[in-house]
Amino acid sequence: MKYIALVVIIAVALLLASCSEQPALSEPEPAPEAVLAEAETDSLYFALPYEFSAVDIYGNALTAEALGEKRAFFLHLWATWCGPCVRGMPDMAEISRDYGDDVGFIGLLLDYDSNADGAVNIIESAGVPDWFIMIDANEPSAAPLLEIVRTGFVPSSAIITKDNHFPEPLSGRNYAEILDEILGY
């Protein structure tokens, strides 16, 4: 009985102690520099979150940093021996022209080593703009990008957004509608 009374007294004491008013701690006002830095990180533009260094089909060295900041990055896996890839290249040209200011375009070419010249002919005849970067999909540093877009078939595409809104491959979907949704057009 004494044990129960002791437990009740301790419980009541703990209850009363937890109910006592304690002054609320006020948050310090952020310095103007901190507010500015926070606003900058809320920007719609971001750098590609994957490091790579590669050579494009024109022989130019390329890094993720060189792509700059965009609102999204469009990855497209293709090959010169793939009929649907080649037939779809005019569509890639059109969306890269329509969205090139806000979207970074990266083509991952599967047969870069064996047919880079053929790829140049295909993209130039389709009117693909220069900013639609074409790199070797087999380049070791391109592996993180290839993992995102790899589905087991070509062509295959994926869109990277700041919050990874569409991290899954998008093959067979209307890219313009998806980009409109992402960009708020």
Indicate which CATH number applies to the domain containing 110.
3.40.30.10
Residue 110 resides in a domain: yes
User: From the CB of residue 95, how many other CB atoms can be counted at a distance below 10 Å?
Assistant: 20
Residue 133 resides in a domain: yes
Q: What is the pLDDT of residue 160?
A: 85
pLDDT digits (tens, 9 = 90+) for 95-126: 999 998 899 898 999 998 888 889 999 999 99
Six-digit token pair at 9?
């007294």
Residue 31 resides in a domain: no
Residue 90: cis peptide before it, omega within 30 degrees of 0? no
Residue 7 resides in a domain: no
Q: What is the pLDDT of residue 166?
A: 62
Mean pLDDT of 10-35: 39
Q: Is the pLDDT at 9 greater than 90, yes or no?
A: no
Residue 41 resides in a domain: no
User: From the CB of residue 11, how many other CB atoms can be counted at a distance below 10 Å?
Assistant: 10
User: From the CB of residue 56, how many other CB atoms can be counted at a distance below 10 Å?
Assistant: 19
Torsion-angle region of residue 164: left (phi > 0), alpha (psi -120 to 50) or beta? Answer: left
Look at the chain and report how many structural domains it folds into: 1
| CA–CA distance, 122 with 85 (Å, rounded to integer) | 10
Domain that holds residue 129: 46-183
Q: What is the pLDDT of residue 28?
A: 38
Q: Is the pLDDT at 39 greater than 60, yes or no?
A: no
Residue 165 resides in a domain: yes
